[in-house]
Structure 1
Amino acid sequence: MSSPPGRGRPFLPGSALRDATKTSFHRSQTLDYRNGCAFFRLPTVGIGGEQLHVNQLSEAELDELSSIRPTLTYGQAKRAPPSDFIPAYVAFDKKILKFDAYFQEDVPLSAEEHYRIRQVGIYYYLEDDSMSVMEPVVPNSGLPQGKLIRRQRVPKNEHGDHFHWKDLNRGMNITMYGRTYRIVDCDPFTQVFLQSQGIELNPPEKMVFDPYTELRRMPLRKYITPSDFDQLKQFLTYDKQVLRFYAIWDDTNSMFGEKRPYIIHYYLADDTVEVREIHEHNDGRDPFPVLIKRQRLPKTFVDKKTTFPSCVLEISDQEVLEWYTAKDFAVGKSTTLLGRPFFIYDCDEFTRNFYRDKFGITDFQPVDIRKKPLEEVPQVLQVIPPYNGFGFLEDSLQNCFSLLPKPPRKDVIKMLENDHKVLRYQVALESPNPEDRKRRFILSYFLSNDMISIYEPPVRNSGIIGGKYLGKTRVPKPGSTTENATYYEPSDLTIGSTVEVFGHRFVITDADEYVLNYMESNAESFPAATLQSLRDHFRPRDSPIPETRKQELDELIVQVQEELKLHNYLNNRNIQEKFHQRDQDGSGILDKGEFLALCNSLNVPTSNVLVNKLIGLCSCGENKINYGDFLRAFPS
């Protein structure tokens, strides 16, 4: 079989020959309708009715073969198992979007700033869609910084919606709780996350800073005019030239203070001052000679408060108005260096020559600082506080004399010699109350320790409970003070005398015979008046009245009459009738108890000192009263 012309030859330029005998070039029909539906069929012949020698496949069959080829090669593919479900709060745990923002607030009533810029950080927590606003701490801002909005879901509008991360972007304003924040930038994680979610980010903006804070960070401008003084020339001229002054610090006014010697060095090269302490052998002080190191010392401050502590003041040219110079040091004058006064009493020869040549000063007479003899210090009297009434006065005073009080010293010899020796007296209470005037007491004086006790004998149906009235104690006299305390002694206890015991007055009406016997045996220790008072009290009633006693009785009667007239006592007729009625035998003598009871019933002022003394002079024998002499004071 012969092949068609040109078949099998390559289509090379100049070698493709056209079949001149071929006249049909139509294509075969591949599109047709069948049962009213359009369909496509593969061509069976080629162009011009040529026979097709290869199997032709449709595009769908070719696509199916391309997809089936891996399956035919490797087998049927297995579908991967679905991934596990991960909740959002686990997937986004600890994933936070951070935006840099700022807000502006007004500053009223301020001349230096009208508004304030405050930088904040807005944090969005992806796990629960909550937000928080934090303000970084700015030192010395005076503002309550830190957490401005705590972590929470921030409401977006009035409909109850909340802010979502889709609502946040750079270069936008966001209003939270009435405050508008301007978002300017975000961190790299936030940028990657938002871009991965298909959000187109706005370009970042430049952060705005607070103008007043930036102004404070700028250093203060100093307007200093350069001085005409040449410090280099001063250094070259006065290098290694030092003025030496000898001074003392007098601290004797304080407790344990003393005078301590010092040397003041003034360096002419740079106007600095150094103070050194002079140590003596075995002075007991630490071996640190430098009291003030070499430095410039301020003389006058610009505006220093007296209450400001100088130890924490950082001295600079702004705080000091004037510094110490060589003109401020002179012999015989005091200089205050850093709050401590120094008295300059001498200087060396170089210092004298310098002041003579530089300032024309020639008076360098040294001052004698030797210790002066101690002056007699006036004795300071110790102020004793008032007695509080607790315990004995001598025992309480020991608390004022010593930190560890000691018991007062006792007269042991007196206690041994007068042990169990007691002087007993009968006393009556001097009171405006008639019932109290009838009360009788026993006053006991203990010679061993000069203490007094008072006992009231119980009287039946008197309505008064008897017993101990005053315990053993020392009784001070009226007018006695804590500094000069005086107490009652046996010489003060006479018949008819008044004893004031802590505000209560008692009149001595009787005494034991032991009192008279004791005083007569120790007559040199007692006044004659005290002894005579007891002798007159115990004189027998039938003994004649001495002339001196009669004269004393007449004078006393006159005084009693004047006293009674002064008190308007006019019951003279009634008193004489009562006494004569009571004296049934007409002896002119009554028992002392009966006599006092009758006087009390007649309201005779027996508590009066003069009346009591008259009763004592009218006594005759023990417990007997010659009322005839007594009635002479009450003429009818």
Structure 2
Amino acid sequence: IGQTRFHKSQHFEHLNSVPILTEKLKPGIGGAPLPWSRPSKYPSIYARAEAPELPAWIVFDKQVLCFDAYFQETVQEQRYTHLVRKCKIYFYLEDGTVQVVEPKVANSGIPQVSAASVSTVTLTSRPSGTLISRQRIPFPAPRDSDFYDMIDFNVDREVELFGRVFKITDCDRFTRVFLNRMGIAVPDPVNVPPDPYSVERDKVSGIRLRSDEFLVVNNVTELADRMLAKHPNNAVDTLRQFLAHDRQVLRFYGYWDDRKSPHGLLHNLEIYYYLSDDTMEIKEVIPPNSGRDAGYMFMRRAKLRKTYTSLPQPGWDSRFTVLNVISSGFVKGRYISDPLNCGQERAEYYKDSDLTLGAAINVFGRQVMITDCDPFTKEYFRAKYGLDDFTAAERPLSADQVQHTKPPPPSLPPYNGFGTYEDSAANCRNMIPVPPNRDFAKFLQKDRYSCLPSTLEHDIYIQLSHISTVACLVQSPVNVPLYRPRQGLDSHILRFRAEMLGGSPADHSRHFVISYYLSDDTVAVFEQPRANTGTH
């Protein structure tokens, strides 16, 4: 009676100054709220301040109400009927969402990462022990159109979230103060009932789990000692050594003499010992133009065993010995580690104390001798072991360093008169005939100027070895220049005019030209032809 508006109201409203689509307030005909609808704001014991109203996502940013709760889970075919699982309920004030997280409990025996999906009520896998992901949770039917709000959570109250009933037992200090300021009384904390599984386990093992999730051993019985895992303590503290000796390397010089094998050589090596992890690396120094491959890595960085018999099998240096308890395949088999390490091979590796000058190390069957080291290595051994004598050990000479004495040249046979003497000597010294070597320096020096037959003023008598005659050199006129620049292909040649002495009277009229080549010290004799002499 008295109603004047009969239109259908919309479902959009401003909740905390934020326009959203909500069904929290069910408006009826003409905009009048329905009887079961609640107001959009909650009263407070404090008076409202005269300040502009801000949105909830700004006022209540990063403010969360935290409640401690638990729920009971039914267990089938066990000596106990249910499990008590503790959890935490978070209510986010900025948007009214709820999240339920279950803290991990040691040795609980149950999966603790299941959660309820947003769209469905089925349990799916979630990380970090989340039972219900952050979302707005509706009330159970028939009020499923409305959602849980801040005033629905309080200590000693039960809430049903997606069909699971949670009992709230306590809250943190911020939640208690906030609810009190809102005019909501918060009761005292409620005790959590004991978990049957935890009680049974405490009776067997004698280990009691406190509420702060720390294990405290109290009166551990023999049965509890048998239940504890027998993992061997094979841990090796390598971090301390790495931090103390990082980037510290000992450098040695040595060699490997392989000249006894066919085509063997003397290999010059550099040995590096890393103090951070007791590993070794060996590199070979290959001289330039040696005709060998450029691979300088003799041994890659690894721990070097003192004794070597054969190549090791995979896993031989593992610190654990695995025992096959039930052999039903590699995937479904049962394996445990042997705490006594029966059958494990004890391997000895080279340490820094084993690397001394003059010592021999076994590098996979090869004897490598150490001859010298660098200044840092000497200072390290002087500070750690008190050594003062670092005299370099002797090393054999390589084939390039050995001074070979050349054998005397073989004697040549007597000259037979064929060809020149140099040509015959070159044929005797070489298997393949080669021309004799010429003095190119003398050739380039003397092959610059040429002289004419009339440029000398000497009378020289030359005894020819291949004929029993004597040639007489005729005197040349004077006041004529001796040399002039070379023209054409004329060479630096001394030419003499000669006559034959002795013999028949007909030979007295014969004239000869004797040429002496200064470039290679050779002699040529030519006869000048004359007409009507009867000689060719």
Q: Same fold (TM over 0.5)?
A: no
Higher RCO, 1 vs 2 (CA within 8 Å, ≥6 residues apart): 2
TM score, norm. by length of structure 2: 0.28
Taking structure 1 as the reference length, the TM-score comes to 0.24
Structure number, greater radius of gyration: 1
Larger relative helix fraction: 1
